[in-house]
Amino acid sequence: MPTTASPALIEALERAVGAAHVVHAPEDLIAYEYDATIDRARPDAVVFPSTAEEVAAVVRAANEFDVPIVPRGSGTGLSGGAVPILGGIVVALTRMNRIIEVDAPNRVAVVQPGVINLQLQETLAPLGLTWAPDPSSQRICTVGGNVANNSGGPHTLAHGSTVNHVLGLEVVLADGRIVRLGGRVLDAPGIDLRGLLVGSEGTLGIVTQATIRLVPIAPAVRTMLAIFDTVDDACTAVSAIIRNGVIPVALEMLDQEIIRIVEPRIHAGYPLDAGAVLLIEVEGLADGVAVESAAVIEACRASGARDVRSAETREERDRLWEGRKAGIGAIGAAAPAFYLLDGVVPRTKLPDVMRGVLDLSARYGFRCANIFHAGDGNLHPNIMFDPQEEGATQRVLDLGGEIMRLCVDAGGAITGEHGIGLEKRSYMEWVFAAPDLDAMGRIRTAFGSAERLNPCKMLPGGHGCASGHAQELAGHLAQPGVYL
């Protein structure tokens, strides 16, 4: 089949990873032209390495033929981070899926980047251990993707995001060298290059192995569902819980729109007439859990909760969490398409910002379902639309920009866990001054990756990259094989 990659490049890639692990026929490349957002661009080839040495060989081949490289895990990213916007080679790391070591006494594990998050959790559970990052996509997302995006999840509020649970990394740099950063201890000496790599979205290097910190599973846990008539009351309760001296391990919110989508499919026990619910979890020693649960219930009732229910069995707890974890998939089944946003605001600004989000969505004429990490103010509005409707996609992007601006004006930020990627790099100038962005660009230059690894991601501008999201979309539509 014809391909935009030169035969010489394909031969070099086949030498690096084997002919069976190189994809370059146009019909096979379709599956790798998008992640879980709405931007698309087709690569020239996809490779599936199985070792760090093979990744290094691919990088050297890309350098020889002057083509860009885009690392990819399971493709569940929500910012366009794995979209090969300038073509080139997608390095899919899904074959590198071994759990190399679990050192339970020292609470350390060594894993390859293609290990599925949930697979890792299931391996650790019999040992009484867990890896704290638990994105809602954990059934399919990879550890490498979690590292690239500094992913969070419902339990970020108490445990922190991925960077707090990565001790060391093996990385292939842009020149094909394999280096090790960090180690097996929490505070390795020297400049924290490991910390720079976590959350760099594949722009500084390709992670081929991670040494991660494990934490014990808490001896006691209580999961509660607080039911409110309005989103305002539920938002008020979030701050009230924290003021009562409790930092829940999870504090999630679902509004009425998402409840009415999820509940008929999952039967989690969310009341269909509720304006919003909070899914709240506390953990620790049994006596402490009892005290903190009472404080949570008091704060919710004082904020207007009409009921607070506690899961009495593991099955009830799992069902409540199933409704939260399956929420995004349920939206996908309820609408032709949706645009999932990711912004952060101070907890005390949640009521005002949520009103703003719903008002903006109504003004643009779109349904909006909100399911998010309320405890750390990490919003996830889901804008539902029909991409076949003329102008709908552009209006959705315009709405997304207004919502991001709303978050920034409230003292927040443009991402909490999904990353910047392609989608939000034109918003970076809203939160960083030019000298700050220049410093970030210099880091990429120092790593030798400025125009080689995952180009056109995170930072505005760049060689061959459009300067803004609207301009980028117009450019994509003009490129062969690139479409929304």
Residue 478: what pLDDT? 33
Residue 71 lies in a domain: yes
Residue 473 lies in a domain: no
Residue 254 lies in a domain: yes
Residue 468 lies in a domain: no
Residue 401 CA to residue 385 CA, distance in Å, equals 16
85 and 178 in a common domain: no
Report helix, strand or coil for 72: strand
211 and 224 in a common domain: no
211 and 230 in a common domain: no
Task: Provide the residue-wise pLDDT of the chain in tens; the chain has 484 residues.
Answer: 344 789 999 999 999 999 999 999 999 999 999 998 888 999 999 999 999 999 999 999 999 999 999 999 999 999 999 999 999 999 999 999 999 999 999 999 999 999 999 999 999 999 999 999 999 889 999 999 999 999 988 888 899 999 999 999 999 999 999 999 999 988 888 899 999 999 999 999 999 999 999 999 999 999 999 999 999 999 999 999 999 899 999 999 999 999 999 999 999 999 999 999 999 999 999 999 999 999 999 999 999 999 999 999 999 999 999 999 888 889 988 999 999 999 999 999 999 999 999 999 999 999 999 999 999 999 999 999 999 999 999 999 999 999 999 999 999 999 988 999 999 999 999 999 999 999 999 999 999 887 789 999 999 977 677 654 544 444 433 333 322 2
Partnered with residue 110 across adjacent β-strands are 101, 211
459 and 346 in a common domain: yes
45 and 19 in a common domain: yes
62 and 141 in a common domain: no
Residue 53 lies in a domain: yes
Burial tier of 27 (Cβ tally within 10 Å: 0-12, 13-18, 19+): exposed
Q: Which of 78, 86, 76 is nearest to 38 (CA)?
A: 78
401 and 309 in a common domain: no
Residue 180 lies in a domain: yes
Last-in-domain residue among 290, 308, 328: 328
Domain around 59: 7-92
Last-in-domain residue among 216, 236, 257: 216
Instruction: Let me know how many helices (H) and strands (E) the chain has, helices first.
Output: 17, 20
261 and 351 in a common domain: no
Residue 84 lies in a domain: yes
340 and 286 in a common domain: no
Give the count of domains, the chain. Answer: 4
CATH number (domain holding residue 276): 3.30.70.2190
188 and 251 in a common domain: no
Last-in-domain residue among 280, 300, 328: 328
DSSP of 406-448: HHHHTT-BS-SSS--TTTTGGGHHHHS-HHHHHHHHHHHHHTT
CATH number (domain holding residue 141): 3.30.465.10
CATH number (domain holding residue 358): 3.30.70.2740
Whose tokens are 């299931």? That residue is 122
DSSP single-letter state for residue 349: G
Residue 238 lies in a domain: yes
321 and 339 in a common domain: no
Partnered with residue 221 across adjacent β-strands are 283
Characterize the bridge pairing of strands 250-255 and 367-372. antiparallel
172 and 229 in a common domain: no
